[in-house]
């Protein structure tokens, strides 16, 4: 069966990604979201690898990285959104519960961090499976989703909507959130995740960038978005290897977040809370029809 791909058209409600302060919660000048992709052993298992030895970096997430990131967030009093694959929730339920117990949001992130497009029936099965795993584990259903590899098909968003999801955080096509018209009277919110400039993975996996230079890049990106009255979302992974679970890299995140906190009128938010605000003020945001 051929895969179904969505067609996209844009109907702007506002002229650009630079939004007036009234568009943001508490009339903030800049909204900041800190997001963490759990990315444990499911990454390796999804590729058919045994998560041991040279392929054991994903085990670091649950064993140390998550706790280190939670300690950092507690020191800074910053809320966050964690995206968790279903397989990792099955393998490390206590680590996932600790995230929720600390008051952070948990969204869905595939089952075994799938890196390929699936046939429609299998995609629906895995979306539903992870949704059930997280709902049963936490006693509350996730409402946000991030594609584990940035890929979506024509069945992805309708399936998520039918399961009760209200926002997606996968696309790379804007600086600010926007409304998604997915057909009929159904709508969701897209909260873009620009992974190649505000994500630890490309720096530590591809370019092997020193930590000091990564900090400088993230600070510069924030400063410009702040000057434009915009939206800033940083995405990191608590793994070792190409992730930021280790001490020096977690410290780089903390230094970046402390830099942001020194600016006035910055509002830190979980993505679900940002969704609630956007859903109440849709006229302030672009709309894209899928």
Residue 38 lies in a domain: yes
Q: What is the rounded average pLDDT of the residues 6-25?
A: 58
Query: Residue 10: what pLDDT?
Result: 57
Q: Helix, strand or coil for residue 271?
A: helix
Query: Residue 21: what pLDDT?
Result: 46
Residue 9 lies in a domain: no
Higher pLDDT, 58 or 13: 58
Residue 148 lies in a domain: yes
Closest CA to 36 of 97, 98, 106: 106
With bands split at pLDDT 50, 70 and 90, how would you rate the model's confidence at 23?
Answer: confident
DSSP state of 29: S
* 256 burial via Cβ count (<10 Å: 0-12, 13-18, 19+): buried
Quick check: pTM over 0.75? yes
Q: What is the rounded average pLDDT of the residues 94-103?
A: 98
Neighbours of 158 (CB within 10 A): 17
Q: What is the rounded average pLDDT of the residues 267-289?
A: 95
The length of the chain in residues reads 290
Residue showing tokens 């996730």 = 142
Closest CA to 269 of 160, 147, 196, 167: 167
Residue 10 lies in a domain: no
Query: Residue 103: what pLDDT?
Result: 98
Q: Write the CB contacts of 58 (distance below 8 Å, at least 6 apart in sequence).
A: 39, 40, 41, 42, 43, 44, 51, 88, 239
Residue 133 lies in a domain: yes
Q: Is the pLDDT of residue 139 over 70?
A: yes
Q: What percent of the chain has pLDDT over 90?
A: 85
What CATH number should be reported for the domain holding residue 224? 3.20.20.370
With bands split at pLDDT 50, 70 and 90, how would you rate the model's confidence at 150?
Answer: confident
Query: Residue 290: what pLDDT?
Result: 80
Query: How many structural domains is the chain composed of?
Result: 1
List the domain range (segments joined by +) for residue 162.
18-289
Residue 284 lies in a domain: yes
């Amino acid at each position: 069966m051929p895969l179904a791909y969505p067609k996209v058209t844009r109907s702007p409600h506002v002229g650009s990604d630079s939004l007036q302060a009234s568009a943001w919660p508490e009339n903030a000048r800049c909204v900041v979201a800190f997001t963490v992709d759990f990315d444990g052993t499911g990454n390796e298992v999804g590729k058919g690898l045994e998560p041991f030895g040279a392929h054991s970096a994903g085990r670091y997430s649950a064993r140390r990285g998550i706790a280190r990131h939670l300690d950092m967030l507690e020191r800074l009093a910053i809320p966050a959104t964690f995206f968790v694959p279903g397989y990792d929730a099955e393998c490390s339920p206590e680590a996932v519960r600790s995230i929720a117990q600390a008051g952070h949001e948990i969204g869905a992130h595939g089952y075994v961090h799938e890196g390929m497009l699936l046939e429609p029936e299998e995609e629906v099965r895995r979306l539903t499976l992870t949704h059930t795993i997280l709902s049963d584990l936490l006693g509350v259903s996730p409402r946000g989703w991030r594609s584990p590899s940035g890929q979506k098909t024509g069945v992805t968003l309708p399936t998520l909507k039918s399961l009760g999801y209200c926002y997606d955080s996968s696309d790379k096509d804007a600086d600010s959130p926007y409304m998604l018209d997915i057909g009929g009277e159904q709508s969701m919110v897209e909260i873009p995740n620009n992974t190649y400039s505000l994500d630890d993975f490309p720096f530590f996996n591809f370019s092997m960038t020193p930590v000091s230079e990564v900090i400088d890049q993230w600070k510069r990106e924030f400063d410009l978005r702040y000057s434009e009255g915009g939206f800033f979302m940083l995405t990191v992974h608590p793994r070792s290897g190409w992730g930021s679970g280790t001490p020096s890299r977690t410290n780089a995140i903390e230094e970046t977040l402390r830099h942001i906190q020194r600016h006035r009128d910055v509002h830190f938010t979980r993505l679900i809370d940002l969704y609630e605000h956007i859903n109440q003020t849709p006229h302030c945001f672009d709309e894209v029809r899928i």
